[in-house]
Amino acid sequence: MDERDWYTELHGGPFGLTIRRDQVLIRERTPYQQLEIFENEALGRVLLLDDAVMLTERDEFIYHEMLVHPGMLAHPDPHQVLVVGGGDGGTLREVVKHQEVEQATLCEIDEAVINLSREFLPFTAAGLDHPKSTIHVGDGLEYIRSHREEFDVVIVDSTDPVGMAEGLFRSPFYRDVKASLKPGGLLVQQAESPFYGFETWPRTFSELASVFRNVHCYGAAIPMYPSGYWTFAFGSDDLTPKSWFDPLRADRLEGLRYYSSELQDAAFQLPRFARLALASEH
């Protein structure tokens, strides 16, 4: 193997994922982070931010479907949806599949992610240009603070809770999200892997539980993320994942490849080690 042509992401120890860079399409320093998009023969386009895999064309459907649909289907009528982060557009693409949606707003801090996704990642960027989508470039923390009782569902599609995104995993932000939600609203957030014992993993859920009455964790098998098992956080004062769940609404969603209504229960059944880590935190 030629070291120069392979990307390697270590997963908290001397092991990890390696992907051959068959063609580098763009590599630039944005005002916020290092961004790279390359092509791999088997995985298609691969987006790196600060040298961590954000998505691959091959498996991004799993992350985006599972970030979006369990929360959207828990809400009886999600008209107004906010996505914090998610500049590649994949989350919007899934949000606007729900016919209840009137407006899906994206608040992404790094305009370069939006622009370069439009150029190089059309399969996710399609969501950015949907008629129901509105794009706002700015800081999600500030954006949330300036909106009150506006959203039915807030979806946090950010990088991990280190550096720039750390504030998105803390209770002050969660209190602001709660205030930005209409009565009966809910929050969903990507919440890392429980497997490698990141100290931040259970903390996210305890911070959420200090703000929202109902906090749930669910998971999905995402090959290109560390450990291959990724979790998501669900928070609401009024709703649970099954409160308003209607499999017929799930059946109307088009082009699903991972989510199905059976997962509205099954994805919330965590491996024992993860459940125990959450229980000891609360």
> Which among 23-31, 38-46, 91-99, 134-142 is the span making contact with a second copy, rule CB under 8 A?
38-46
Out of 62, 113, 165, 181, the only residue in the binding site for a second copy (CB under 8 A) is 62
Interface positions, 243-262, toward a second copy (CB under 8 A): 256-260, 262
* Under rule CB under 8 A, residue 146 binds a second copy: no
Say how far apart CA 238 and CA 220 lie, in whole Å: 24
CA torsion sign for 234, 239, 242, 246 is: negative
| DSSP, res 88 | T
* Under rule CB under 8 A, residue 222 binds a second copy: yes
> Which among 83-91, 105-113, 174-182, 267-275 is the span making contact with a second copy, rule CB under 8 A?
267-275
Q: Are strands 52-56 and 229-236 parallel, antiparallel or unpaired?
A: unpaired
Out of 57, 59, 157, 176, the only residue in the binding site for a second copy (CB under 8 A) is 59
Write down the catalytic residue from 59, 110, 152, 157: 157
- Which residues on adjacent β-strands are paired with residue 136? 107
**Hey, how many other C-beta atoms are within 10 angstroms of the C-beta on 231?**
24
Say how far apart CA 28 and CA 41 lie, in whole Å: 22
* Under rule CB under 8 A, residue 41 binds a second copy: yes
Residues 6+ apart with CB under 8 A from 188: 67, 68, 70, 71, 153, 154, 155, 156, 232, 233, 234, 235
> Which among 18-26, 95-103, 132-140, 198-206 is the span making contact with a second copy, rule CB under 8 A?
18-26
176 annotated active-site:
no
Residues of the shown chain interacting with a second copy in the complex, contacts defined by CB under 8 A: 1, 3, 8, 12-20, 22, 40-43, 59, 62, 195, 219-223, 227-229, 256-260, 262-263, 265-267, 269, 271-273, 275
